Structure 1
Amino acid sequence: MGTLAIPLVVISVLLHRIGILPSNGFMFVAGLTLLVALFGVIAAFVAMTRLWFTGDQGWSKALIGLALSLVALLPFVWYGSLAMRYPAVTDIYTTDRAEMPLVFDAQTMSMPQPKTLSAAQIARVFPNVQTRDYPLGLTQTFGLVRQLVEDRGWDVRVLREPTAEFEPGRINARIVTLVGWREEAVIRVTGNATDSEVNMRSASLNALHDFGDNGLRVEEFLTALDDAVTGLMRDNPDANTPIEEQPETD
């Protein structure tokens, strides 16, 4: 049972990540793997109890089977702990999510009804999921956002640069989680020549529980953006001065 459970975990995750195994099929295989691994643990304990009383040989096989079954159970224990820590939510955002629409192919992907939290619940569970206001121009801020998205290797699906008339900039990027769930991050930047506002949304496209991924992603990204803006303005005191007003240099 132990030698069967581990390949089930590995193969199902790989097939789910590359899109061959659909999410409903992945959930079925995951449930089957859990049963196999639990049966392996029970069988190992039954075998060791019998060996204790009979004195027969077979301890090594029983212990190896127990170890393999426990290894196969580790992902379930980990995600179980996350499910207990974070509420069952699939859509986290800093402001009205209608202003940050998702991009997904309805023909190949069936998106479940999103599960959301109230603003008060988001503030309690993910305190750093908040709209960011920076004393930095729209164009400069959008450039930092774009660089952070590129640094993370996200698959950009929509890229709309802010215009000279200060029309908002937006990026939609697709992320594949470790076990193959598809999630989408949307970053919207508004503002003018001297100030900007950044809002972000992260949503699961084919999962019923994100295990905290979306909230943690928004928190991490916006915190990194805080650091990037602070660093830019510290190292370039004139970064927020319009070009025509910047002092001339020799």
Structure 2
Amino acid sequence: MAGVYKFKTSRLARWALWLSRLTIPVAILSFLLMRFGGIHPSLAVYCFGASLVLALLSILVGLAAIPAIWSEGQVGGQRIIGTVLRSMVVILPALALAYLYFTRPAFSDLSTNPIDPPEFETAWQMREDADNSLDVVSLAEREQQALAYPELASIRIDHPIEVVYLLVADELAKQKWKLISATDHALSADGSRFEAYYRSVITGLRYVVAIRLRPDGEEATILDMRSANLWGPHDLGRNANSITGFLSSVEQRVAQGIAAFELQFEEIQRQRRLQLGPMPRPKPLDLINDDAANS
């Protein structure tokens, strides 16, 4: 009669798999809280940290189960593999974030003009109590920014400020950034200004940008841009990417031609003239001479 062997199942392997099954739901919960929950990002980060701790703990428990599985023939090898695969779903994104954290300069506020950056005048409306201050950072930190990101610089556009204003407004709409305020250069001594707000598609973190246009003569415009994250001491390189991406898109559209915005500006001028009504015609010269003779 053939014998029936019963292999003992590793309890540690079972616990490791159970812990790993908790990591993904907790990580998904942290994502949903940050992206759609409307809570402060710090709470969602703590939730993601809890999922990371569970993932590491499940791997440690799985490693502790290996000696018994190997030497005593206990069942649990497949559970260990499942534990590792589930844990990697959380650990790999955490490693990617850690890489960005340690390889990118630790800034939360960047500008193309460190000497005279655009100021946030209305973006404070988007702040919460525990968010970063939107005040201009110290000169020493701005010097560090210039050294860390030498590619961030003002750009000169060979078009009048009125045309560039329309181009920037259209680019903001194209980027799907929420416009907070827009000031025409005719109403401000500091040129035209835009302030906008957007959220990261993946993490839901909030960012604000300020754009300033100043005339450089009558046929050119200087564009400066500033970007800041509302929460956290480190932007993981996102602010620099936002600035370079926006400016590159503007320069590309200028290179392709912006005749449509020139025509749009001409139409705006025409509408303004119509609102002012007909201009008074000068008095004919013969009538002026008659008035002078009669007097």
TM (normalized to structure 2)? 0.72
The answer to whether the aligner puts 1:214 opposite 2:214 as a matched pair is no
The answer to whether the aligner puts 1:151 opposite 2:169 as a matched pair is no
- 8 Å CA contact 1:139–1:193 kept in 2: the answer is no
CA-CA distance at 1:25 after TM superposition: 1.3
**Which residue matches 2:145?**
122
1:22 to 28, 40, 50: 40
Tell me the distance in 1 between the aligned counterparts of 2:246 and 2:70. Answer: 54
After superposition, the Cα gap between the structure-2 partners of 1:53 and 1:152, relative to the gap in structure 1 and judged at 3 Å, is farther
The answer to whether the aligner puts 1:80 opposite 2:98 as a matched pair is yes
Root mean square deviation of aligned Cα: 3.2
Tell me the distance in 2 between the aligned counterparts of 1:100 and 1:220. Answer: 20
Match of 1:129, SS state, is coil
Amino acid at match of 1:152: Q
The answer to whether the aligner puts 1:91 opposite 2:109 as a matched pair is yes
- 8 Å CA contact 1:232–1:239 kept in 2: the answer is no
The answer to whether the aligner puts 1:66 opposite 2:84 as a matched pair is yes
Amino acid at match of 1:10: I
The answer to whether the aligner puts 1:47 opposite 2:69 as a matched pair is no
Gaps of 5+ in 1: 245-250
Aligned residues: 243
After superposition, the Cα gap between the structure-2 partners of 1:33 and 1:115, relative to the gap in structure 1 and judged at 3 Å, is farther
Amino acid at match of 1:188: R
The answer to whether the aligner puts 1:3 opposite 2:28 as a matched pair is no
CA-CA distance at 1:57 after TM superposition: 1.8
The structure whose Rg is larger is 2
Give deviations 1:73-97, integer Å, cap 9, x for gaps: 1221011000111121100012223
- 8 Å CA contact 2:118–2:224 kept in 1: the answer is no
After superposition, the Cα gap between the structure-2 partners of 1:164 and 1:179, relative to the gap in structure 1 and judged at 3 Å, is closer
Tell me the distance in 1 between the aligned counterparts of 2:44 and 2:209. Answer: 23
CA-CA distance at 1:109 after TM superposition: 4.0
Tell me the distance in 2 between the aligned counterparts of 1:236 and 1:112. Answer: 36
- 8 Å CA contact 1:202–1:214 kept in 2: the answer is yes
Identity of aligned residues (%): 21
Amino acid at match of 2:248: T
After superposition, the Cα gap between the structure-2 partners of 1:15 and 1:115, relative to the gap in structure 1 and judged at 3 Å, is farther
1:231 to 256, 272, 291: 256
Amino acid at match of 1:12: S
Gaps of 5+ in 2: 1-18, 270-295
TM (normalized to structure 1)? 0.83
Tell me the distance in 1 between the aligned counterparts of 2:250 and 2:106. Answer: 27
Tell me the distance in 1 between the aligned counterparts of 2:67 and 2:28. Answer: 30
Which segment drifts farther, 181-190 or 13-22? 13-22
**Which residue matches 1:247?**
none
The answer to whether the aligner puts 1:190 opposite 2:190 as a matched pair is no
After superposition, the Cα gap between the structure-2 partners of 1:164 and 1:171, relative to the gap in structure 1 and judged at 3 Å, is closer
After superposition, the Cα gap between the structure-2 partners of 1:54 and 1:147, relative to the gap in structure 1 and judged at 3 Å, is farther
After superposition, the Cα gap between the structure-2 partners of 1:180 and 1:106, relative to the gap in structure 1 and judged at 3 Å, is closer
